Amino acid sequence: MEKPRSSVVEQLRPLFRPRTVAVVGASRKPEKIGYQVVRNLMEGGFPRDRIFPINPYADEILGLKAYPSVKDVPEEVDLAVICVPARIVFDVVRDCGEKGVKAIAMITAGFGEVGNVEEERRLVELVRSYGMRLLGPNIVGVCDTVNRMNASFCQALPPPGDIAFITQSGALGIALVGWTIMERIGLSDLVSVGNKADVDDADLLEFFAHDPHTRAIALYIEGVKNGRRFFETARRVSKQKPIVALKAGRSERGAAAAASHTGALAGADRIYDAAFQQSGIIRAYTIDQLFDWCIALASQPPPRKRPVVIVTNGGGAGVMATDACADYGLALEDPPDDLKNVFRQYMPPFGSTRNPIDLTGMARRDEYYGAVLTALQHSWVGAVIVLYCHTAITTPREVADAILDAIRQAKVDKPVTVSFIGGAEADEASDYLRQNRVPCYPTPERAVAAMGALYRRAEYLGLLRD
Ligand code: COA
């Protein structure tokens, strides 16, 4: 008989926030996955005395004492990462169950994804009979930046942050670790879900909805397994935390490729579109959008009013942003006269107070500070998009400081997105803004699109007043 099940959040805590980790199939050979996982755990910063390599043929791996079986570990084991071949998986899972291991992350491939559906079903049955939960099989592992646990064969831990990234493609997950490091995108967790034999997307949404370290959830999916449960959970969770999903397999050939990659049922894309909308999931179409939007949703409040004000020092950037506003359904209107009059103080006579507010290339720190503060404090304004083209008149860092000062001074709950267009200095200032929780992007369209995501969320939550 199956043991009674506690809440999903409690069941999954040992998977994502374990105190102790056993690596079953820890290898002595550097080229093996079982070696990489132990090394990653150590290099990631997980405490050495809480890592237990399991290998019946080794006394020691990477300087850590190795145990012949998980049953020999002298302490409680929260998480067992399994990297032995499929043929011995049942034996080691039984050992884990007898030991009282709480959760299993199974890297081993060779189950449902290659047609061994019945074996996978028996595996889940076995795991559940001991009251354990199983992530996978066929995964790259789990990266938890909260406790610095890299229980995966990803090349490194992603930078710490507040976005949980759940990916159905392991390889994409691995590749994106390098990318998140380069782009300085912080994650709370990176979870490769593999075959979703036991733990599925709905369970993960539930866990991250309750995780205090996660403010937005990013999903890469090719298909969902139990659609009804997934979308019902998403509808509930998206009321608490934003969810952005990149669903691949939109085209006919793409859907066929997804079916052979993860066995995902190639559901009609339009059905997914409608289900995403109804359940409050914001759909992204590119990797940039997935993370751009999560960064904005994790750091900015949803808007309460429609009118958006664009503040810029470049006419061209303003025009591009205006077009993008039309694409994303954002309301750009002429500001009321009293607001225009205040804006005039921050620009030369040849500036523009029609929206976009063009401070012109003459704008420096004070003009940005004044215009952004004015926009944020005016009751007509719902949200502010700030654009800056790097000129010789001022430095990007000065403008970044002006924007931050204006936001702090305004003391209002309105969203701001920013674009800094330029070279290395603009990039550094952009990073500085992000570190201070202001989403900044390299192009105007991306700043507008991120604002579009904030409006979509506000609409879903019914927050917009006309
Ligand atoms: N308990 C623990 N360890 C055991 C063991 C047992 N009962 N029996 C053997 N081992 C040891 C082996 O001796 C070996 O250690 P060694 O190298 O020091 O001798 C280690 O476990 C690994 O076993 P090995 O037979 O060498 O397996 P492998 O490393 O070649 O392959 C997998 C194991 C899991 C990596 C492989 O089967 C697999 O599934 N690969 C695909 C992974 C993947 O792509 N996942 C999805 C990503 S998207």
Encode pLDDT of 206-250 as tens digits: 999 999 999 999 999 988 888 999 999 999 999 999 999 999 877
Task: Give the closest residue (by CA) to ligand 1 atom 23.
Answer: 84
The superfamily in CATH containing domain 8-296 is: Succinyl-CoA synthetase domains (3.40.50.261)
Q: Which residue, 422, 427, 421, 429, is CA-closest to 447?
A: 421
User: Left if phi > 0, otherwise alpha if psi is -120 to 50, otherwise beta: which for 315?
Assistant: alpha
Query: How many angstroms is it from 142 CA to the middle of ligand 1?
Result: 17
- pLDDT tens per residue, range 390-442: 999 999 999 999 999 999 999 999 999 999 999 999 999 999 999 999 999 99
Cα–Cα distance, 447 to 387 (Å, whole number): 8
Q: For the chain, what are the domain ranges?
A: 8-296, 302-461
Beta carbon of 109 within 6 Å of any ligand 1 atom:
yes
CATH 3.30.70.100 for domain 302-461, yes or no, is no
The finding on whether 87 has its CB within 6 A of some atom of ligand 1 is no
Taking only the tens place, the pLDDT of each residue in 328-376 is 999 899 999 999 999 999 999 999 999 999 999 999 999 999 999 999 9
What mean pLDDT is reported for the chain? 94
- From its phi and psi, is residue 297 left (phi > 0), alpha (psi between -120 and 50) or beta? alpha
> CB of 222 within 8 A of CB of 247?
yes
In CATH terms, are 8-296 and 302-461 the same topology? Answer: yes
- H helical segments located in 21-103: 33-44, 89-99
User: Does residue 407 contact residue 386 with C-beta atoms inside 8 Å?
Assistant: no
Rounded CA gap, 66 and 62, in Å? Answer: 9
Closest ligand 1 atom to the C-alpha of 173? 48
Q: Report d(CA 119, CA 90) in Å as an integer.
A: 10
Distance 120 CA to ligand 1 centre (A): 18
For the CA of 24, the closest atom of ligand 1 is 2
Q: In this predicted structure, what is the pLDDT of residue 1?
A: 41
Tell me how far apart the alpha carbons of residues 197 and 108 are, in angstroms, rounded to a whole number.
13
Q: Which of 28, 32, 35 to mutate to test the pocket of ligand 1 (most atoms within 8 A of CB)?
A: 32
167 within ligand 1 shell (Cβ under 6 A): no
In angstroms, rounded to a whole number, what is the distance separating the alpha carbons of residues 97 and 45? 27
Return the structure tokens found at 175.
């590749």
Q: What's the 26 CA to ligand 1 centre distance in angstroms?
A: 8
Ligand 1 atom closest to 107 (CA): 45
Tell me the whole-structure pTM to 2 decimals. Answer: 0.94
